[in-house]
Amino acid sequence: MIFAVPISDDNPTVSAPILTFALIGTCIGAFLWQLGHDERVTLYTYGMVPAELFGLWHPPRSYQVLPPGAKVLTSMFLHGGWFHLIGNMWFLWLAGFILEDNWGRLIYSIFYLVAGAAALQFYAWCAPGSYVPLVGASGAVAALMGGFLVRFPRMKIEMGFYSLIFRYRFKAPAYALLPFWLAMEFLYGSVSGTSSPVAHWAHVGGFLFGMAAAYGIMRSGLEQKASDAIESKIGWSADPDIVRASEALEKSNFDEAAAILRDHLKQKPSSVDALEILQQVEWRRGDVRAYLEVMAQLCQLHLRAQDTGAAWSDFEAYRNAGGDKLPAGVWLDIARMLETQQNFDRAAAEYEQLAQVHTKEKQSIVALLGAGRLYLKRLNRPEDALRNYKAAAASQVPHLDWERNIQAGIKEAERALGKVPAGASPTRL
């Protein structure tokens, strides 16, 4: 079985996604509450039943706690199982926090609730006589995905394909991935109708409503007003160059944004904010070489700040974009970070690749010693350890300071392999 999972996108945010966190927390809390109550009673009491919504069926009096219209809202916070909950919350996180950052919390909250209700209503129109309760946030989340497509059509989304035998990651723009997802939902809905345990038509309805609503928000000027309000709150700390570059990026004036940011970096070469925006600019205008240079700088700055999570994210983005020659010093620090985190296999692999790429740099000797040490001490692979120690001994890079460690490593690896060290006398009987 193969799983396709969106992992991340390329858009940084300015404000904390408080409302998205609150929605995720509410859904998790509601699900934990569900676990302590009778499932059937909970679903029919607080879930949306299409036949009840249209007056075609009336539940037992004990289930009539709320009017049918109110259940459209309560059903959005209930879920049918752990996988249902986790999947919806993951998509809510990926799409929600960016839209909240751009629209502001008022517009975002109204959009989420109205779009979720619209998705459920659309499903009810497709199955007006259904007596099966409908629960889940996926209609509202699908609307967020539709809004994301309208608002950020060219934004890169990182996807991961996972199975028992392989893993693969790639990036593609939203305009390529999200319409494909919508088409698949439409196909599944057409084939299975309302008999499927998944409400495909709620997804379709939510996505289409989200697209229309996002377009309306954008054309009405509400988004600009929200953006201005957000900027007014953070403007006191924003550098004028960063603001100008962000505005140029927003208008897709990539050359202008890049020029502003590079001038800024001449004065402040350690500006993470400038580099974060510049990497977006270079990626979106297709200059992969410049993008890789910026990601290498970001990785170095995050390592200096001991922000290992951000540094690893930078390194992965660098790799995924085709980068294979990270500066030796930065690469060595990444390998050491992996070793500290006890990711010994990956650390040894990075040490070896560093040494293969930077053959004339002194870091290559350190990397070969690091790989040899891990293979010998941590991974129980003395043959690989010996290969790396011998490569260090044969290196053209002056290594007198490390010669003693190299020879000691060679002897220890040979002992581990059961070989007689060179120059040793045989035992006499």
d(C-alpha 429, C-alpha 427), whole Å: 7
Claim to verify: residue 257 and residue 219 sit in the same structural domain: no
Confirm whether 270 is domain-assigned.
yes
Residue 183 has pLDDT above 50, yes or no: yes
Claim to verify: residue 179 and residue 277 sit in the same structural domain: no
**pLDDT tens, 277-292?**
999 999 988 899 999 9
Total residues found in the chain within this entry: 429
Residue 428 has pLDDT above 50, yes or no: no
Please give the C-alpha separations between residue 396 and each of 96, 156, 359, 360, in angstroms, as whole numbers: 54, 42, 8, 7
Per-residue tokens: 254 = 């990539």
Neighbour count for residue 189 (Cβ, 10 Å):
21
pLDDT at 15: 62
Residue 381: HSE in the Cβ half-sphere, 13 Å Cα cutoff = 16
Least confident of 9-23, 106-120, 213-227, 321-335: 9-23
Residue 14 has pLDDT above 60, yes or no: no
At which residue do the structure tokens 């989340």 appear?
141
Residue range 292-303: mean pLDDT, rounded: 94
d(C-alpha 23, C-alpha 100), whole Å: 12
Residue 232 has pLDDT above 70, yes or no: no
Pick the more confident residue, 239 or 235.
239
Residue 239 has pLDDT above 50, yes or no: yes
Confirm whether 424 is domain-assigned.
no
Mean of pLDDT over the chain: 86
Residue 423's DSSP bridge partners are none
pLDDT at 236: 41
Confirm whether 422 is domain-assigned.
no
At which residue do the structure tokens 């740099």 appear?
361
pLDDT at 164: 62
Pick the more confident residue, 168 or 222.
222
Residue range 282-306: mean pLDDT, rounded: 92
pLDDT at 7: 62
pLDDT at 11: 55
Claim to verify: residue 212 and residue 265 sit in the same structural domain: no
Band (pLDDT 50/70/90 cuts) for residue 235 is very low
Claim to verify: residue 217 and residue 278 sit in the same structural domain: no
Per-residue tokens: 337 = 């970070």
Residue 1 has pLDDT above 80, yes or no: no
Residue 238 has pLDDT above 60, yes or no: yes
DSSP state, 396?
Answer: S
Confirm whether 159 is domain-assigned.
yes
d(C-alpha 400, C-alpha 45), whole Å: 78
Neighbour count for residue 390 (Cβ, 10 Å):
16
Residue range 244-251: mean pLDDT, rounded: 89
Confirm whether 153 is domain-assigned.
yes
Claim to verify: residue 140 and residue 251 sit in the same structural domain: no
Helix, strand, or coil here: 47? coil
Domain that holds residue 154: 3-226
Residue 424 has pLDDT above 50, yes or no: no
Contact between 364 and 354 under an 8 Å Cβ cutoff? The reply is yes
Claim to verify: residue 13 and residue 79 sit in the same structural domain: yes
d(C-alpha 19, C-alpha 104), whole Å: 9
The sheet carrying 156-162 orders its strands as 3-9, 156-162, 167-173
Residue 285: HSE in the Cβ half-sphere, 13 Å Cα cutoff = 20
Question: Angle CA(423)–CA(425)–CA(429) in degrees, nearest 5?
Answer: 165
Confirm whether 425 is domain-assigned.
no
Claim to verify: residue 127 and residue 182 sit in the same structural domain: yes
Claim to verify: residue 368 and residue 405 sit in the same structural domain: yes
What CATH number is attached to the domain comprising 261? 1.25.40.10
% the chain with pLDDT above 90: 55
pLDDT at 415: 94
Residue range 303-324: mean pLDDT, rounded: 90
DSSP string, 115-127: HHHHHHHHHHHHS
Last residue of a domain, one of 226, 260, 290: 226
Domain count across the chain: 2
Please give the C-alpha separations between residue 88 and each of 103, 174, 252, in angstroms, as whole numbers: 21, 18, 32
**pLDDT tens, 88-105?**
998 898 888 888 887 888
Q: What share of the chain is helix, strand, coil (3-state, %, to 5)?
A: 70, 5, 25
pLDDT at 173: 84
The per-type count for the chain, helices as H runs and strands as E runs, is: 20, 3
d(C-alpha 400, C-alpha 153), whole Å: 56
pLDDT at 162: 64
Please give the C-alpha separations between residue 163 and each of 6, 92, 172, 343, in angstroms, as whole numbers: 15, 24, 20, 21
Residue 189 has pLDDT above 60, yes or no: yes
pLDDT at 13: 52
Claim to verify: residue 347 and residue 311 sit in the same structural domain: yes
Confirm whether 247 is domain-assigned.
yes
Claim to verify: residue 275 and residue 190 sit in the same structural domain: no
Residue range 368-389: mean pLDDT, rounded: 96
Residue 6's DSSP bridge partners are 159
Claim to verify: residue 79 and residue 214 sit in the same structural domain: yes
Band (pLDDT 50/70/90 cuts) for residue 267 is very high
Confirm whether 288 is domain-assigned.
yes
What CATH number is attached to the domain comprising 37? 1.20.1540.10
Q: What's the first-to-final CA gap in the chain, in angstroms? A: 62
66 Cα distance to chain centroid: 38
Last residue of a domain, one of 192, 226, 260: 226
pLDDT at 225: 67
Pick the more confident residue, 236 or 56.
56
Residue 296 has pLDDT above 50, yes or no: yes
Claim to verify: residue 220 and residue 243 sit in the same structural domain: no
Last residue of a domain, one of 226, 259, 294: 226
